Chain A
Amino acid sequence: MAPSELASATDPLAQSKGWPSIVADWSSDQRAFKQVSWGKAMMWIFLLSDTFVFGCFLLSYMTVRMSTTVPWPNASEIFALNIGGNDVPLILIAIMTFVLITSSGTMAMAVNFGYRRDRAKSAILLLVTAVFGAMFVGMQAFEWTKLIEDGVRPWGNPFGAAQFGSSFFMITGFHGFHVSVGVLFLIIVARKVWRGDYDNSRKGFFTSRKGHYEAVEIMGLYWHFVDLVWVFIFAVFYLW
């Protein structure tokens, strides 16, 4: 939308605030989400549906954990790493958390540099984000290997309640899958930024829509969501 259009005296967006603005937006013609492109609005709707998927996983985990009469395995001990002769509790998970938060920070800055038309910095930050994402998946693979060697299976484990294995593999597996897809998505967007697709509005090979730097922000929404889900998994699965 051109600024001159928005600037007209009949601009309804400037008229209401608070609840009246919600009523006005939702009851208006054509579109409810003003000032947000369809790409961005649809990414938000997708993330909302993904929230329900992860919500159901975490909910079922909570239910099986609360209803089992067998003691739950102690996450603090199971995810401890032996460093210099001492068992440091949960250290791998803490490192994974910091790696993912760092990748979220670099992602936010990539979006920012994209809008400033700083192609090189934006592309490099996107690649750095992808590297951190790949590191996260690598550490998760290491963690899975370690647990599988310890005898943890979806149907049972030597540490306690059998539901531990199924919850663990399901929740972290689905999250790890999201991170992996995100890494691929990041590499694709980084390539497009590097090539200048969003500067000269080159059409996408799949959607044949003109490129725009908002694509980087939409990519960012997905990546921050992956980090967001990890915040919940870290709290309720590893720290409970």
Chain B
Amino acid sequence: MQQTAEQTVPQTAQHAEGQQHSIGVYFKIWGLLFVLSTFSYLVDYFHVQGYLRWTLILVFMVLKAGLIVAVFMHMVWERLALIYAILIPPLLVLVFVALMVFEADYTFATRNLFSGAGQ
């Protein structure tokens, strides 16, 4: 028990000093963000359409967001209690997104039906 506590000293002591990581990590993430942004721009530039467009755009978006939150905002080095408190609530908003997709589809169908736009 005593030994395990001693082993954690360097890590916790460093944490008390603030988030310190090598500059190299930031350069790598920076490069990756540039590459991913270029890819998402190219999706539009080459007129990729349909489900492939959506898949690519969303994949690049989630990867970029993940890298920013995890490394630039130091989330991977925080304790789980903070990570979950901050990340789970926005994920639950996806339920709201799903609800509004159904609602919007319904509104669209109704408008088509009653305004005669679909005829």
Contact = CB atoms under 8 A, between A and B. Distances in A.
A108 B72 contact: yes
Q: Is the interface of B mostly helix, strand, loop or mixed?
A: helix
A184 interface: no
A25 B79 contact: yes
Interface residues of A, number: 72
A35 interface: yes
Interface string B66-107: 001101111000111110111001100100110011011101
Chain B interface size band reads 35 or more
Interface in B13-66: 13, 15-21, 23, 26-27, 29-30, 33-34, 37, 40-41, 43-45, 53, 57-58, 60-61, 64-65
B82 A67 contact: no
Given A112-B21, A239-B40, A1 B16 contact: yes
A48 B89 contact: yes
Contacts of B61: 231-232, 234-236
Interface string A199-219: 000000000000001100100
B64 A231 contact: yes
Contacts of B108: 66-69
B73 A234 contact: no
A105 B71 CA distance: 11
Contacts of B8: 6-7, 11, 13-14
11 contacts: A19-B80, A33-B81, A35-B12, A41-B82, A44-B82, A69-B108, A94-B41, A97-B41, A105-B29, A231-B61, A231-B64
Interface of A: 1-3, 6-9, 11, 13-14, 18-19, 21-22, 25-26, 32-36, 41, 44-45, 47-48, 51-52, 55, 59, 62-69, 76, 89-90, 94, 97-98, 101-102, 104-105, 107-109, 111-112, 115-116, 213-214, 217, 220-221, 224-225, 227-228, 231-232, 234-236, 238-240
Interface of B: 1-2, 4-6, 8-9, 12-13, 15-21, 23, 26-27, 29-30, 33-34, 37, 40-41, 43-45, 53, 57-58, 60-61, 64-65, 68-69, 71-74, 78-82, 84-86, 89-90, 93, 96-97, 100-101, 103-105, 107-108, 111-112, 115, 117-118
